[in-house]
Amino acid sequence: MTTSPDSSSPLISAEALKAALGTVRVFDVRFDLARPEAGEAAWREGHLPGAHYLHLDRDLSAKDGVPALCGGRHPLPTREVFAATAARLGLTPDTPVVLVDAQGGMFAARAWWMLRWIGARDVRVLDGGLAAWRAAGGALEPGEVAPPAAAPAWPLEPEPAGLRLTADALAAQLGRVALLDARAPERYRGDVEPLDPVAGHIPGALNRPFSANLGPDGRFLPPEALRAAFQGLAGARAVVHQCGSGVTACHNLLAMAVAGLPGGALYAGSWSEWCRDPARPVARG
C-alpha cells in the first residue's frame, strides 16, 4: 500500500487512498453507541467504492455466546474467533486493509488494533475519516456490496506478550503503570455516566480523552505533538490503555503508533467490566 508522506504510519490520507483503491480492502466501521444499527444504515446510503461493513457488536465484539476474553459492554472475542471472522471476510495476514469511520477514528481504531492483534501486517486508518474523503472529492456508492470470497483459514501465531491485560493483572499493577483513560473528562471524573452502572474511574488512572489526539479538522495531530503528550503523561512507565468498553482506548494506542511510540497494553474490559465488581475500588474527581 502506498501511503504519503510516511509509509510506516498507521494512517493513510484520503489522497493516497484514492490512488490505492482497487489494491486495498476497505472496511467501513461507522457506528453509534446509542443507535447500534445507525452506522450500517449510513453505510448503505453511501460508502467508499467497494467498502464492506464491520459492525462493532457483531464483528468486533463477543456477543450472543461468542467466546470472550473479558466482560464489559464490548467484550473482546478470542483471537481464534476474530481470525475466523477475518478469513470469512476474505483477508489474509498480508492483505492491505484500510478502515474508515465518521467519528474521528474511534471505531476504526478498534478494528485496527484487533487486526494487528491477530497478525495482520498492513492495516491503516483513513486520517480524517469520511469527511476527509469527501473533502478530497472521493466518490461514495450506495447499496450493498457483494460478499467477498472467503480466504483460507487464518494462520494464527501465538499471541505476542504485552498486548493486553486482564482485570486481575491490571489490579496487581495499579500504581506502577501509567493507566490512561480515553473517556471524556466528565465521565472520567464521575460527574456523569450515561452507559455504565457506576460513575468514576479506576484509581490512579490518568485522563487522556481520545478526542485530544485530533486537530480541529478531525485529523490526527502531528507525530511530534502526540509524542510529547504521551511521554508527558507516562514518563518512563509502562502504559496501559482503557476507556469505557475497550473501544476508544484503541484510539490512544493508534495515536501512540502515529507518534512512533510503543503503545503498551489494552485493558479490553475497561471501566464497563471493572465497575461491575463491587470489590474493585472506584475513584472520583
Residues noted as catalytic = 243
For cell 474523503, name the residue.
Answer: 133
Task: Residue count of the chain, please give it.
Answer: 285
CA distances from 159 to 47, 73, 83, 124, 266 (A): 33, 23, 12, 21, 13
Please calculate the CA angle 268-272-277 and round it to the nearest 5 degrees. 105
Distance from C-alpha of 185 to C-alpha of 192, rounded to nearest angstrom: 10
- Give CB contacts under 8 A, 24+ apart, made by 74-79: 74/110, 74/245, 74/246, 74/247, 74/272, 75/246, 75/268, 75/269, 75/273, 76/114, 76/164, 76/246, 76/268, 76/269, 79/117, 79/118, 79/156, 79/159
Q: How far is CA 260 from the centre of its chain?
A: 17
